[in-house]
């Protein structure tokens, strides 16, 4: 979420720029919020999305496309079309790109995408919808003698995924496991996973804490239980597991297991001596 705040004397006016805005502050909606295509090489796939003005004032939106890059911890950065080798933003055609909406009006937006002849695996991009008209009054809040007027400038990102059927390749590997002990006797385990295939992977995993006899004394979910986590082709992702309570002194093996949807699970281990 991006926020731009301007304050003046009473009445106080707040202007927000919202990304993935919630309904309470929304000036308009876009449906759907994600497209999943399965176009074959050379095929043109088509679909529509609906923009609706929820307010009582006329507003204008502009529609463009972006590629994006995922960081090690799942953070996302928008980049221009063509900047990512597996980005599909430059393939997307949208009509119209500028839309004016009267109060409570809905309009249909057409989109199409032609898959290159050499396409294989998963490709991705975003459709960026930006409000270009004046900010929309969302609500007025009164606290004592002070009034707050909240205006919303709304941006939305619509995810676009393209999977070329018959060319899927799921392949992943654990490349590193690290451990950081905390002062309370617990520890955080970091696991670096790499997608070495050409398909989007939705992963789940766990860490088994095994004692010197090989018995599992504790099982820790990866990513603090927020599974599945996604890893795009060619990308790396660091996920974590947290051991909250101190273990008895001894030698342990931290066995990490990740299910990425392929034929086999992948695993890695790290020795840990608890004093």
CB atoms within 10 A of CB 44: 11
Give the whole-angstrom CA distance, residue 96 versus residue 94: 6
Give the whole-angstrom CA distance, residue 199 versus residue 231: 9
Least confident of 6-15, 50-59, 115-124, 221-230: 6-15
Residue carrying structure tokens 């004592």: 144
Residue-range domain boundaries for the chain: 12-164, 172-274
The per-residue pLDDT for 166 is 97
Do 12-164 and 172-274 fold alike per CATH?
Answer: yes
Average pLDDT over residues 76-99: 97
Rg (CA), the chain: 24
Instruction: Read off the pLDDT of residues 60-75 as tens digits, 9 standing for 90 and up.
Output: 999 999 999 999 999 9
The per-residue pLDDT for 5 is 36
The per-residue pLDDT for 144 is 79
The per-residue pLDDT for 224 is 62
Q: Which of 111, 108, 212, 226 is nearest to 159 (CA)?
A: 111
In DSSP notation, 181-233 reads E-TTS-EEEEEEEEE-SSS-EEEEEEEEEE-TTS-EEEEEEGGGG---EEE-T
In this prediction the pTM is 0.82
Q: What DSSP state is assigned to residue 160?
A: E
Whether the predicted pLDDT of 152 surpasses 80: no
Is the model more confident about 80 or about 22? Answer: 80
The per-residue pLDDT for 8 is 35
The per-residue pLDDT for 118 is 97
Q: Read off the pLDDT band of 22 (50, 70, 90).
A: very low
Beta pairing partners, 194? 173, 236
- Token pair recorded at residue 177: 């496991």
Considering the four listed CATH numbers 3.30.479.30, 2.60.40.10, 3.30.1330.10, 1.10.760.10, the one that applies to the domain covering 12-164 is 2.60.40.10
Q: Read off the pLDDT band of 266 (50, 70, 90).
A: very high
Q: Read off the pLDDT band of 169 (50, 70, 90).
A: very high
Q: What is the mean pLDDT of the chain?
A: 88
Give the whole-angstrom CA distance, residue 268 versus residue 240: 14
The per-residue pLDDT for 102 is 96
The per-residue pLDDT for 27 is 83
- Token pair recorded at residue 208: 């088994």
Give the whole-angstrom CA distance, residue 98 versus residue 108: 12
Average pLDDT over residues 229-254: 94
> Residue 161 belongs to what H/E stretch?
strand 146-164
172-274 falls under which CATH superfamily?
A: Immunoglobulins (2.60.40.10)
Beta pairing partners, 90? none
Counting Cα atoms < 13 Å in the Cβ hemisphere of 154 gives: 26
Whether the predicted pLDDT of 33 surpasses 70: yes
Residue carrying structure tokens 């090690």: 72
Contact 238, 224 (CB under 8 A): no
| Maximal CA-CA distance, the chain | 71
Q: Read off the pLDDT band of 235 (50, 70, 90).
A: very high
Our CA dihedral for 21, 23, 26, 31, rounded to 10 degrees, sits at: 80
Percent of the chain with pLDDT over 90: 75
């Amino acid at each position: 979420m991006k926020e731009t705040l301007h304050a003046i004397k009473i009445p106080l006016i707040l202007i927000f720029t919202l990304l993935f805005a919630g309904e309470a502050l929304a000036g308009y909606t876009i449906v759907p919020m994600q497209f999943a295509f399965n176009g074959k090489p050379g095929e043109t796939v088509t679909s529509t999305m609906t923009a609706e003005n929820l307010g009582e004032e006329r507003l204008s939106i502009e529609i463009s496309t972006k590629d994006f890059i995922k960081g090690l911890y799942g953070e996302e950065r928008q980049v221009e079309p063509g900047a990512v080798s597996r980005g599909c933003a430059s393939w997307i055609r949208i009509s119209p790109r500028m839309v004016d909406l009267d109060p409570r009006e809905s309009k249909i937006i057409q989109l199409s995408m032609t898959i290159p002849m050499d396409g294989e695996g998963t490709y991705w991009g975003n459709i960026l919808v930006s409000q270009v008209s004046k900010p929309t009054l969302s609500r007025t809040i009164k606290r004592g003698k002070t009034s707050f007027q909240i205006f919303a400038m709304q941006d939305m990102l619509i995810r676009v995924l393209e999977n070329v059927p018959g060319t899927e390749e799921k392949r992943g590997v654990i490349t590193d496991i690290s451990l950081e002990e905390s002062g309370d006797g617990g520890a955080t385990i970091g696991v670096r996973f790499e997608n070495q295939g050409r398909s989007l992977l939705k992963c789940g995993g766990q860490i088994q804490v095994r004692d010197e006899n090989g018995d599992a004394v504790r099982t820790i979910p990866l990513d603090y239980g927020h599974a599945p986590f996604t890893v795009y082709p060619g990308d790396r992702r660091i996920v974590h597991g947290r051991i909250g309570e101190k273990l008895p002194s001894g030698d342990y093996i931290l066995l990490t297991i990740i299910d990425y949807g392929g034929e086999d699970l992948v695993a890695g281990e790290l020795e840990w001596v608890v004093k």
